Amino acid sequence: MKMNEVVSVLKGEKQRWNDGTKIVIALMKTSTPIGSNTGKKIYNMTGDELNKYWLALVFQGKSQAPSFFNSAAELESFVAQTPGAIGVVEQATGDQAHTVAIDGKKTF
């Protein structure tokens, strides 16, 4: 995927995958180092700004809130078991993970 596609998906701008499956977003909590890094790299926001961003989208009915996790293992398990789910971790570790390169890079 290209970074602009990832950003569009993770900002809730794109609601469905090309096959029609609903996109389900999984993120690390913004209080974790990975969650904070995701906020900066993907959203260009602090953790508090990112939480407010999602609250506003949900309140306006524009998107469903992402699921937030404390550990990468929990996030990976959720993504592996949830059709249409996408999540952000520094580097996938689980054997169930399907890693997608962003702009040709396997690590975030």
The residue among 91 and 108 whose pLDDT is bigger is 91
Over residues 52-76, the pLDDT tens digits come to 999 999 999 888 889 999 998 899 9
Q: Is residue 79 part of a domain?
A: yes
Q: How confident is the model at residue 88 (pLDDT cuts 50, 70, 90)?
A: confident
Q: How many domains does one find in the chain? A: 1
Q: Is residue 106 part of a domain?
A: no
Q: Is residue 95 part of a domain?
A: no
Q: Is residue 98 part of a domain?
A: no
Q: Is residue 104 part of a domain?
A: no
Over residues 11-43, the pLDDT tens digits come to 999 999 999 999 999 999 999 998 999 899 889
pTM for the model: 0.85
Q: Is residue 13 part of a domain?
A: yes
HEC states along the chain? CCHHHHHHHHCCCCCECCCCCECEEEEECCCCHHHHHHHHHHHCCCHHHHHHHHHHHHHCCCCCCCEEECCHHHHHHHHHHCCCEEECCCCCCCCCCCCCCECCECCC
Residue span of the structural domain in which 36 resides = 3-87
